Amino acid sequence: MKSNLSRRSFLRLAGLSAVAALSACAPKALPTAVPEKPAEPAKAEGAPTAAPAAKAKVKIQVCDLVAEDATGPGVFTRIKYQQFAELFPEIEVEHVAYPDVTFEKRKEYWLTAYSPGGPNAVMFDTNKWCWEFASLKKALILDDYVSLYYQEDWDSLVPVAQRLSTYDGHIVQIPGMIEVHGLVVRRDYLQEVGYAEDFTPANWPEFLAMIKALTTDKYYGFQWKTYMRAMSEFLHMNGGDFATENPDKTIELHYTRKELVEVLEMLKSCIYPNRYIQANTLQEFMQNLNAFQQGQSATFNMMPSWVNWLFGVTEFGPDDLNYFCYPIGTSGEAKNGLRPAYVDCGSHSWVANPYGTPEQNDAVAHYLCWMNSKENIKKQGVWWRENELKGAYASPFKDVPWTDVSAGIPDWWAPPVEKILALGDIDPAPDYAPGRSYVDAACAEIINDENSDVRAILQAAEDKTRREFLDEYHKKLGKA
Protein backbone atom coordinates (compact mmCIF):
# COMPACT_ATOMS: atom_id res chain seq x y z
CA MET A 1 0.00 0.00 0.00
CA LYS A 2 2.93 2.34 -0.45
CA SER A 3 1.90 3.46 -3.89
CA ASN A 4 0.66 7.05 -3.87
CA LEU A 5 -0.69 6.69 -7.37
CA SER A 6 -3.31 4.04 -6.67
CA ARG A 7 -4.83 5.90 -3.77
CA ARG A 8 -4.81 9.23 -5.54
CA SER A 9 -6.46 7.49 -8.45
CA PHE A 10 -9.07 6.19 -6.05
CA LEU A 11 -9.70 9.73 -4.89
CA ARG A 12 -10.16 10.94 -8.43
CA LEU A 13 -12.43 8.03 -9.30
CA ALA A 14 -14.53 8.82 -6.27
CA GLY A 15 -15.18 12.21 -7.82
CA LEU A 16 -14.12 14.00 -4.68
CA SER A 17 -12.69 17.48 -5.07
CA ALA A 18 -12.47 20.68 -3.07
CA VAL A 19 -15.41 23.08 -3.26
CA ALA A 20 -15.10 26.69 -4.39
CA ALA A 21 -13.56 29.30 -2.09
CA LEU A 22 -15.44 31.22 0.59
CA SER A 23 -18.20 33.49 -0.73
CA ALA A 24 -19.70 36.43 1.09
CA CYS A 25 -23.28 36.45 2.28
CA ALA A 26 -25.59 38.97 3.93
CA PRO A 27 -24.87 40.14 7.52
CA LYS A 28 -26.59 38.15 10.23
CA ALA A 29 -27.85 38.89 13.70
CA LEU A 30 -25.64 38.57 16.76
CA PRO A 31 -25.68 35.10 18.37
CA THR A 32 -27.82 33.58 21.03
CA ALA A 33 -26.73 30.42 22.77
CA VAL A 34 -29.93 28.49 22.01
CA PRO A 35 -32.50 29.50 19.41
CA GLU A 36 -35.65 30.85 21.01
CA LYS A 37 -38.96 29.53 19.76
CA PRO A 38 -41.17 32.28 18.40
CA ALA A 39 -44.41 32.80 20.27
CA GLU A 40 -47.30 31.01 18.60
CA PRO A 41 -50.25 33.24 17.68
CA ALA A 42 -53.50 32.48 19.46
CA LYS A 43 -55.80 30.32 17.35
CA ALA A 44 -59.32 31.55 16.69
CA GLU A 45 -61.92 29.47 18.47
CA GLY A 46 -63.31 26.82 16.21
CA ALA A 47 -60.68 27.37 13.53
CA PRO A 48 -59.61 24.23 11.66
CA THR A 49 -56.26 22.69 12.67
CA ALA A 50 -53.65 23.28 9.99
CA ALA A 51 -51.23 20.57 8.91
CA PRO A 52 -47.71 21.14 10.33
CA ALA A 53 -45.61 23.27 8.02
CA ALA A 54 -42.53 21.70 6.45
CA LYS A 55 -39.37 22.58 8.33
CA ALA A 56 -37.45 25.23 6.42
CA LYS A 57 -34.03 24.16 5.14
CA VAL A 58 -31.13 25.85 6.91
CA LYS A 59 -27.94 26.52 4.96
CA ILE A 60 -24.56 26.61 6.70
CA GLN A 61 -21.08 27.17 5.37
CA VAL A 62 -18.25 25.08 6.81
CA CYS A 63 -14.53 25.07 6.08
CA ASP A 64 -13.34 21.59 7.00
CA LEU A 65 -12.03 20.27 3.71
CA VAL A 66 -8.91 18.13 4.00
CA ALA A 67 -6.29 17.75 1.31
CA GLU A 68 -6.45 14.81 -1.02
CA ASP A 69 -3.80 12.35 0.09
CA ALA A 70 -2.64 8.79 -0.32
CA THR A 71 -3.92 7.44 2.97
CA GLY A 72 -7.67 7.84 2.97
CA PRO A 73 -8.73 10.31 5.69
CA GLY A 74 -9.89 12.79 3.06
CA VAL A 75 -12.01 10.14 1.36
CA PHE A 76 -13.72 9.04 4.55
CA THR A 77 -14.44 12.64 5.54
CA ARG A 78 -16.28 13.12 2.27
CA ILE A 79 -18.21 9.92 2.87
CA LYS A 80 -19.41 11.47 6.12
CA TYR A 81 -20.46 14.59 4.21
CA GLN A 82 -22.79 12.48 2.09
CA GLN A 83 -24.13 10.54 5.06
CA PHE A 84 -24.93 13.73 6.96
CA ALA A 85 -26.77 15.13 3.96
CA GLU A 86 -28.89 11.97 3.75
CA LEU A 87 -29.64 11.83 7.48
CA PHE A 88 -30.40 15.52 7.94
CA PRO A 89 -31.85 16.85 4.67
CA GLU A 90 -33.14 19.96 6.44
CA ILE A 91 -29.51 21.14 6.83
CA GLU A 92 -27.68 22.13 3.67
CA VAL A 93 -23.91 22.21 4.21
CA GLU A 94 -21.67 24.09 1.82
CA HIS A 95 -18.06 22.94 2.18
CA VAL A 96 -15.70 25.76 1.29
CA ALA A 97 -11.99 25.51 0.58
CA TYR A 98 -9.27 26.66 2.91
CA PRO A 99 -7.93 30.13 2.04
CA ASP A 100 -4.79 30.35 -0.02
CA VAL A 101 -2.71 31.82 2.81
CA THR A 102 0.25 30.45 4.73
CA PHE A 103 -0.27 28.61 8.01
CA GLU A 104 1.13 31.59 9.92
CA LYS A 105 -1.53 33.88 8.41
CA ARG A 106 -4.52 31.59 8.84
CA LYS A 107 -5.39 32.66 12.35
CA GLU A 108 -5.55 36.33 11.39
CA TYR A 109 -7.59 35.42 8.31
CA TRP A 110 -10.19 33.53 10.34
CA LEU A 111 -10.35 36.13 13.10
CA THR A 112 -11.45 38.57 10.42
CA ALA A 113 -13.76 36.07 8.71
CA TYR A 114 -15.55 35.18 11.96
CA SER A 115 -18.03 38.01 11.66
CA PRO A 116 -21.54 38.43 10.24
CA GLY A 117 -21.54 36.82 6.81
CA GLY A 118 -18.52 34.61 7.48
CA PRO A 119 -18.38 30.80 7.54
CA ASN A 120 -20.39 29.09 10.28
CA ALA A 121 -17.54 26.81 11.38
CA VAL A 122 -13.90 26.07 10.61
CA MET A 123 -11.72 23.06 11.41
CA PHE A 124 -8.40 24.13 12.90
CA ASP A 125 -5.46 21.75 13.27
CA THR A 126 -4.57 23.33 16.60
CA ASN A 127 -6.86 23.87 19.57
CA LYS A 128 -4.76 26.83 20.78
CA TRP A 129 -6.64 29.13 18.43
CA CYS A 130 -10.01 28.28 19.89
CA TRP A 131 -9.06 29.80 23.25
CA GLU A 132 -7.98 33.02 21.58
CA PHE A 133 -11.19 33.11 19.53
CA ALA A 134 -13.20 32.54 22.71
CA SER A 135 -11.38 35.32 24.57
CA LEU A 136 -12.32 37.68 21.72
CA LYS A 137 -15.99 36.52 21.76
CA LYS A 138 -15.52 34.88 18.36
CA ALA A 139 -16.44 31.33 19.35
CA LEU A 140 -20.01 30.13 19.74
CA ILE A 141 -20.75 28.88 23.25
CA LEU A 142 -21.71 25.23 22.75
CA ASP A 143 -22.92 24.26 26.25
CA ASP A 144 -26.60 23.90 25.39
CA TYR A 145 -25.94 22.28 22.04
CA VAL A 146 -23.68 19.64 23.56
CA SER A 147 -26.51 18.65 25.91
CA LEU A 148 -28.71 18.15 22.83
CA TYR A 149 -26.35 16.42 20.42
CA TYR A 150 -23.18 15.25 22.16
CA GLN A 151 -23.69 14.74 25.91
CA GLU A 152 -22.89 11.03 26.10
CA ASP A 153 -19.81 11.50 23.94
CA TRP A 154 -18.72 14.56 25.95
CA ASP A 155 -18.92 12.60 29.20
CA SER A 156 -16.61 9.91 27.80
CA LEU A 157 -13.87 12.25 26.53
CA VAL A 158 -10.48 11.92 28.21
CA PRO A 159 -10.20 14.72 30.80
CA VAL A 160 -7.60 16.64 28.83
CA ALA A 161 -9.90 16.73 25.78
CA GLN A 162 -12.60 18.35 27.91
CA ARG A 163 -10.13 20.91 29.24
CA LEU A 164 -8.87 21.66 25.74
CA SER A 165 -12.45 22.35 24.67
CA THR A 166 -13.37 24.65 27.54
CA TYR A 167 -12.68 28.34 28.08
CA ASP A 168 -13.78 30.18 31.22
CA GLY A 169 -16.11 27.33 32.11
CA HIS A 170 -17.84 27.12 28.71
CA ILE A 171 -17.49 24.60 25.87
CA VAL A 172 -16.08 26.42 22.85
CA GLN A 173 -14.91 23.62 20.55
CA ILE A 174 -15.73 20.07 19.55
CA PRO A 175 -12.46 18.11 19.65
CA GLY A 176 -11.24 15.79 16.98
CA MET A 177 -8.09 13.71 17.07
CA ILE A 178 -5.83 14.30 20.07
CA GLU A 179 -2.23 15.21 19.27
CA VAL A 180 0.84 14.60 21.43
CA HIS A 181 4.36 15.44 20.32
CA GLY A 182 6.73 12.51 20.34
CA LEU A 183 9.47 10.67 18.51
CA VAL A 184 9.73 7.76 16.17
CA VAL A 185 13.09 6.04 16.68
CA ARG A 186 14.87 3.72 14.28
CA ARG A 187 15.06 0.31 15.92
CA ASP A 188 18.22 -0.70 14.03
CA TYR A 189 20.06 2.37 15.35
CA LEU A 190 18.95 1.55 18.90
CA GLN A 191 20.55 -1.87 18.53
CA GLU A 192 23.73 -0.38 17.06
CA VAL A 193 24.34 1.68 20.22
CA GLY A 194 23.56 -1.16 22.61
CA TYR A 195 19.85 -0.74 23.35
CA ALA A 196 17.11 -3.31 22.92
CA GLU A 197 15.20 -2.63 19.72
CA ASP A 198 11.95 -2.06 21.64
CA PHE A 199 13.50 0.34 24.18
CA THR A 200 11.31 3.25 25.26
CA PRO A 201 12.68 5.81 27.74
CA ALA A 202 10.66 5.92 30.95
CA ASN A 203 11.88 9.26 32.29
CA TRP A 204 13.90 12.38 31.55
CA PRO A 205 17.37 10.93 32.46
CA GLU A 206 16.75 7.83 30.32
CA PHE A 207 15.65 10.03 27.44
CA LEU A 208 18.82 12.15 27.65
CA ALA A 209 21.01 9.05 27.83
CA MET A 210 19.34 7.55 24.75
CA ILE A 211 19.65 10.76 22.72
CA LYS A 212 23.33 11.16 23.61
CA ALA A 213 24.04 7.51 22.73
CA LEU A 214 22.33 8.01 19.36
CA THR A 215 24.41 11.12 18.61
CA THR A 216 27.38 9.68 16.71
CA ASP A 217 29.71 10.66 13.92
CA LYS A 218 27.33 8.87 11.50
CA TYR A 219 23.95 10.26 12.60
CA TYR A 220 22.43 12.54 15.19
CA GLY A 221 20.18 11.46 18.03
CA PHE A 222 17.50 14.12 17.84
CA GLN A 223 16.04 15.92 14.86
CA TRP A 224 17.51 19.25 15.87
CA LYS A 225 16.28 21.00 12.76
CA THR A 226 12.80 21.11 14.26
CA TYR A 227 13.84 21.21 17.90
CA MET A 228 11.44 24.05 18.72
CA ARG A 229 8.51 21.69 18.21
CA ALA A 230 9.73 19.74 21.21
CA MET A 231 11.15 22.58 23.30
CA SER A 232 8.06 22.88 25.49
CA GLU A 233 7.99 19.15 26.11
CA PHE A 234 11.68 19.06 27.06
CA LEU A 235 11.13 21.95 29.44
CA HIS A 236 8.05 20.36 30.99
CA MET A 237 9.93 17.09 31.49
CA ASN A 238 12.46 19.09 33.46
CA GLY A 239 9.74 20.63 35.64
CA GLY A 240 9.72 24.09 34.05
CA ASP A 241 7.61 26.46 31.96
CA PHE A 242 8.33 29.44 29.74
CA ALA A 243 5.60 31.32 31.57
CA THR A 244 2.65 30.76 33.87
CA GLU A 245 -0.73 32.44 34.00
CA ASN A 246 -2.12 33.55 37.36
CA PRO A 247 -5.82 33.36 38.28
CA ASP A 248 -6.18 37.09 37.50
CA LYS A 249 -4.82 36.42 33.95
CA THR A 250 -1.50 38.18 34.61
CA ILE A 251 1.53 36.33 33.27
CA GLU A 252 4.88 35.59 34.89
CA LEU A 253 7.90 34.92 32.68
CA HIS A 254 10.47 32.27 33.61
CA TYR A 255 13.03 32.45 30.82
CA THR A 256 16.08 32.54 33.08
CA ARG A 257 15.11 29.85 35.57
CA LYS A 258 17.42 26.88 35.78
CA GLU A 259 14.95 24.48 34.10
CA LEU A 260 15.13 26.25 30.73
CA VAL A 261 18.86 26.93 31.03
CA GLU A 262 19.48 23.23 31.66
CA VAL A 263 17.39 22.17 28.68
CA LEU A 264 19.22 24.49 26.30
CA GLU A 265 22.59 23.39 27.61
CA MET A 266 21.45 19.80 27.05
CA LEU A 267 20.53 20.54 23.44
CA LYS A 268 23.88 22.18 22.79
CA SER A 269 25.77 19.28 24.34
CA CYS A 270 24.05 16.85 21.96
CA ILE A 271 24.66 18.99 18.90
CA TYR A 272 28.26 20.07 19.51
CA PRO A 273 30.99 19.17 18.78
CA ASN A 274 29.82 16.09 16.78
CA ARG A 275 27.24 17.93 14.74
CA TYR A 276 26.25 15.88 11.74
CA ILE A 277 23.78 18.33 10.23
CA GLN A 278 23.76 21.37 8.03
CA ALA A 279 24.60 24.79 9.46
CA ASN A 280 20.97 25.92 9.54
CA THR A 281 19.07 24.04 12.25
CA LEU A 282 15.71 25.50 11.24
CA GLN A 283 14.96 23.66 8.02
CA GLU A 284 11.85 22.71 6.16
CA PHE A 285 9.79 19.74 7.29
CA MET A 286 10.38 17.60 4.21
CA GLN A 287 14.14 18.10 4.47
CA ASN A 288 13.96 16.73 8.00
CA LEU A 289 11.96 13.73 6.82
CA ASN A 290 14.45 13.10 4.02
CA ALA A 291 17.34 13.23 6.52
CA PHE A 292 15.55 10.64 8.65
CA GLN A 293 14.90 8.33 5.73
CA GLN A 294 18.47 8.67 4.42
CA GLY A 295 19.94 7.65 7.76
CA GLN A 296 21.29 11.01 8.95
CA SER A 297 18.97 10.99 11.97
CA ALA A 298 18.05 8.22 14.40
CA THR A 299 14.78 9.91 15.31
CA PHE A 300 11.98 11.91 13.74
CA ASN A 301 9.87 14.37 15.71
CA MET A 302 6.20 13.76 15.01
CA MET A 303 2.60 13.47 16.18
CA PRO A 304 0.04 10.67 15.77
CA SER A 305 -1.71 12.15 12.75
CA TRP A 306 1.52 12.22 10.75
CA VAL A 307 1.62 8.42 10.80
CA ASN A 308 -1.14 8.55 8.18
CA TRP A 309 1.37 9.45 5.50
CA LEU A 310 4.73 8.52 7.11
CA PHE A 311 4.70 4.99 5.77
CA GLY A 312 3.41 6.13 2.40
CA VAL A 313 6.30 8.52 1.68
CA THR A 314 9.23 6.65 3.27
CA GLU A 315 10.63 3.17 2.99
CA PHE A 316 9.95 2.42 6.65
CA GLY A 317 7.31 0.01 7.89
CA PRO A 318 5.66 0.25 11.32
CA ASP A 319 7.84 -2.54 12.72
CA ASP A 320 11.01 -0.60 11.82
CA LEU A 321 10.28 2.15 14.34
CA ASN A 322 9.40 2.78 17.96
CA TYR A 323 7.01 5.60 18.83
CA PHE A 324 6.73 7.36 22.19
CA CYS A 325 5.43 10.67 23.45
CA TYR A 326 6.83 13.70 25.27
CA PRO A 327 7.24 13.80 28.18
CA ILE A 328 8.39 10.27 28.64
CA GLY A 329 6.40 8.46 31.29
CA THR A 330 5.56 10.13 34.60
CA SER A 331 8.97 11.73 35.01
CA GLY A 332 7.76 15.09 36.20
CA GLU A 333 8.84 15.57 39.78
CA ALA A 334 9.41 19.30 39.71
CA LYS A 335 11.62 19.39 42.82
CA ASN A 336 12.22 23.12 43.23
CA GLY A 337 10.83 23.83 39.77
CA LEU A 338 7.50 25.37 38.87
CA ARG A 339 5.30 22.32 38.54
CA PRO A 340 5.28 18.60 37.84
CA ALA A 341 5.89 17.93 34.18
CA TYR A 342 2.73 17.50 32.16
CA VAL A 343 1.73 16.63 28.64
CA ASP A 344 0.90 19.60 26.47
CA CYS A 345 -1.84 17.86 24.48
CA GLY A 346 -3.54 19.39 21.49
CA SER A 347 -6.41 18.38 19.26
CA HIS A 348 -7.97 19.07 15.93
CA SER A 349 -10.50 21.73 16.75
CA TRP A 350 -13.92 22.62 15.32
CA VAL A 351 -14.96 26.13 16.36
CA ALA A 352 -18.29 27.70 15.36
CA ASN A 353 -18.74 31.32 14.34
CA PRO A 354 -21.14 33.00 16.84
CA TYR A 355 -22.52 35.43 14.25
CA GLY A 356 -24.93 33.07 12.49
CA THR A 357 -28.70 33.15 12.87
CA PRO A 358 -30.13 31.09 15.75
CA GLU A 359 -31.18 28.46 13.20
CA GLN A 360 -27.69 28.35 11.68
CA ASN A 361 -26.03 28.12 15.08
CA ASP A 362 -28.19 25.13 15.97
CA ALA A 363 -27.53 23.49 12.60
CA VAL A 364 -23.76 23.95 12.69
CA ALA A 365 -23.52 22.70 16.27
CA HIS A 366 -25.48 19.60 15.23
CA TYR A 367 -23.14 19.11 12.28
CA LEU A 368 -19.95 19.41 14.35
CA CYS A 369 -21.22 17.05 17.05
CA TRP A 370 -22.29 14.43 14.52
CA MET A 371 -19.14 14.59 12.38
CA ASN A 372 -16.91 14.08 15.42
CA SER A 373 -19.08 11.59 17.26
CA LYS A 374 -17.65 8.49 18.84
CA GLU A 375 -19.55 6.27 16.40
CA ASN A 376 -18.09 8.03 13.38
CA ILE A 377 -14.56 7.81 14.77
CA LYS A 378 -15.03 4.06 15.20
CA LYS A 379 -16.36 3.73 11.65
CA GLN A 380 -13.27 5.48 10.29
CA GLY A 381 -10.99 2.76 11.68
CA VAL A 382 -13.19 0.05 10.21
CA TRP A 383 -13.17 1.80 6.82
CA TRP A 384 -9.38 2.08 6.84
CA ARG A 385 -8.99 -1.62 7.57
CA GLU A 386 -11.54 -2.64 4.94
CA ASN A 387 -9.63 -0.60 2.36
CA GLU A 388 -6.23 -1.91 3.50
CA LEU A 389 -4.97 1.53 4.44
CA LYS A 390 -2.58 2.52 7.21
CA GLY A 391 -3.79 5.27 9.47
CA ALA A 392 -3.38 6.48 13.04
CA TYR A 393 -6.02 8.34 14.98
CA ALA A 394 -5.46 9.14 18.65
CA SER A 395 -9.00 8.87 19.97
CA PRO A 396 -10.21 11.58 22.38
CA PHE A 397 -12.56 9.06 24.04
CA LYS A 398 -11.35 7.12 27.07
CA ASP A 399 -13.46 4.08 26.13
CA VAL A 400 -12.25 3.93 22.50
CA PRO A 401 -8.65 2.60 22.30
CA TRP A 402 -6.26 3.95 19.70
CA THR A 403 -6.05 0.49 18.11
CA ASP A 404 -9.82 0.52 17.46
CA VAL A 405 -9.62 3.65 15.34
CA SER A 406 -6.29 3.03 13.61
CA ALA A 407 -5.13 0.53 11.01
CA GLY A 408 -1.83 -1.05 10.04
CA ILE A 409 -0.10 0.09 13.25
CA PRO A 410 1.54 -2.37 15.67
CA ASP A 411 -0.39 -2.90 18.89
CA TRP A 412 2.62 -1.85 20.93
CA TRP A 413 2.41 1.69 19.50
CA ALA A 414 -0.83 2.36 21.38
CA PRO A 415 -0.04 2.08 25.14
CA PRO A 416 2.40 5.05 25.27
CA VAL A 417 -0.19 7.33 23.65
CA GLU A 418 -3.06 6.16 25.84
CA LYS A 419 -0.95 6.43 29.00
CA ILE A 420 0.06 9.98 28.12
CA LEU A 421 -3.54 10.98 27.36
CA ALA A 422 -4.60 9.77 30.79
CA LEU A 423 -1.96 12.07 32.34
CA GLY A 424 -2.26 14.91 29.88
CA ASP A 425 -2.87 18.55 30.63
CA ILE A 426 -3.02 21.83 28.78
CA ASP A 427 -0.62 24.74 28.43
CA PRO A 428 -0.72 26.75 31.69
CA ALA A 429 -0.60 30.10 29.91
CA PRO A 430 -2.79 29.93 26.80
CA ASP A 431 -3.11 33.70 26.48
CA TYR A 432 0.67 34.00 26.44
CA ALA A 433 0.89 32.81 22.83
CA PRO A 434 1.56 36.29 21.31
CA GLY A 435 4.69 36.64 23.48
CA ARG A 436 6.12 33.21 22.79
CA SER A 437 7.99 34.37 19.68
CA TYR A 438 10.53 36.23 21.82
CA VAL A 439 11.76 33.18 23.70
CA ASP A 440 11.61 31.08 20.52
CA ALA A 441 13.98 33.53 18.82
CA ALA A 442 16.31 33.44 21.83
CA CYS A 443 16.40 29.64 21.82
CA ALA A 444 17.18 29.62 18.10
CA GLU A 445 20.06 32.05 18.65
CA ILE A 446 21.42 29.89 21.47
CA ILE A 447 21.22 26.60 19.58
CA ASN A 448 22.83 27.98 16.44
CA ASP A 449 25.94 29.23 18.25
CA GLU A 450 28.20 26.75 20.00
CA ASN A 451 29.68 29.54 22.15
CA SER A 452 26.40 31.29 23.04
CA ASP A 453 25.83 32.59 26.58
CA VAL A 454 22.57 30.86 27.41
CA ARG A 455 21.54 32.86 30.46
CA ALA A 456 22.50 36.26 28.99
CA ILE A 457 20.51 35.69 25.80
CA LEU A 458 17.47 34.50 27.77
CA GLN A 459 17.63 37.54 30.05
CA ALA A 460 17.71 39.87 27.04
CA ALA A 461 14.70 38.03 25.56
CA GLU A 462 12.75 38.33 28.83
CA ASP A 463 13.46 42.06 29.02
CA LYS A 464 12.32 42.50 25.40
CA THR A 465 9.16 40.47 26.01
CA ARG A 466 8.21 42.72 28.94
CA ARG A 467 8.99 45.89 27.02
CA GLU A 468 7.27 45.02 23.75
CA PHE A 469 4.43 42.72 24.81
CA LEU A 470 3.79 41.98 28.46
CA ASP A 471 3.62 45.49 29.91
CA GLU A 472 0.94 46.47 27.39
CA TYR A 473 -0.91 43.19 27.95
CA HIS A 474 -1.09 43.85 31.69
CA LYS A 475 -2.26 47.43 31.07
CA LYS A 476 -5.22 46.05 29.11
CA LEU A 477 -6.04 43.86 32.11
CA GLY A 478 -5.83 46.86 34.41
CA LYS A 479 -2.92 45.21 36.24
CA ALA A 480 -0.03 47.48 35.25
pLDDT digits (tens, 9 = 90+) for 332-384: 444 444 445 455 567 788 999 999 999 999 999 999 999 999 999 899 888 88
- pLDDT attached to residue 23: 33
Angle ∠(12,15,16) on CA atoms, nearest 5: 85
List helix spans (H) across 306-409. 307-313, 358-371, 374-386
Helices and strands: H and E segment counts in the chain: 19, 12
- Between the ranges 65-74, 140-149, 448-457, where is the mean pLDDT highest? 140-149
- pLDDT attached to residue 449: 84
pLDDT (mean) for 97-116: 84
CA dist., res. 264 & res. 455, Å (int): 10
CA dist., res. 118 & res. 167, Å (int): 22
60: left (phi over 0), alpha (psi -120 to 50) or beta: beta
Higher-scoring residue by pLDDT: 39, 117: 117
pLDDT at 433 over 90: no
**Distance from CA of residue 480 to its chain's centroid?**
33
CA dist., res. 416 & res. 295, Å (int): 25
Would you call 122 helix, strand, or coil by DSSP? strand
Higher-scoring residue by pLDDT: 97, 30: 97
- List of domains in the chain: 16-22+56-179+346-386 (3.40.190.10), 182-342+422-477 (3.40.190.10)
pLDDT at 147 over 50: yes
Higher-scoring residue by pLDDT: 82, 244: 82
- Between the ranges 104-113, 180-189, 464-473, where is the mean pLDDT highest? 464-473
- pLDDT attached to residue 448: 80
The answer to whether 60 and 91 have CB atoms below 8 angstroms apart is yes
- pLDDT attached to residue 272: 65
How buried is residue 103: exposed, middle or buried, by Cβ count under 10 Å (0-12/13-18/19+)? exposed
pLDDT digits (tens, 9 = 90+) for 363-377: 999 999 999 999 998
pLDDT digits (tens, 9 = 90+) for 252-282: 899 999 888 988 888 787 766 555 444 444 4
At 332, phi and psi to the nearest 5?
-95, 55
CA dist., res. 37 & res. 48, Å (int): 23
- Tell me which residue of 362, 349, 370 sits closest to 60, measured CA to CA: 362
What is the DSSP track for 188-222? HHHHHTT--TT----SHHHHHHHHHHT--SS-BSS
Least trusted range by pLDDT, from 161-165, 271-275, 457-461: 271-275
The answer to whether 249 and 477 have CB atoms below 8 angstroms apart is yes
List, in sequence order, every beta strand (DSSP E) within 327-366. Answer: 346-352
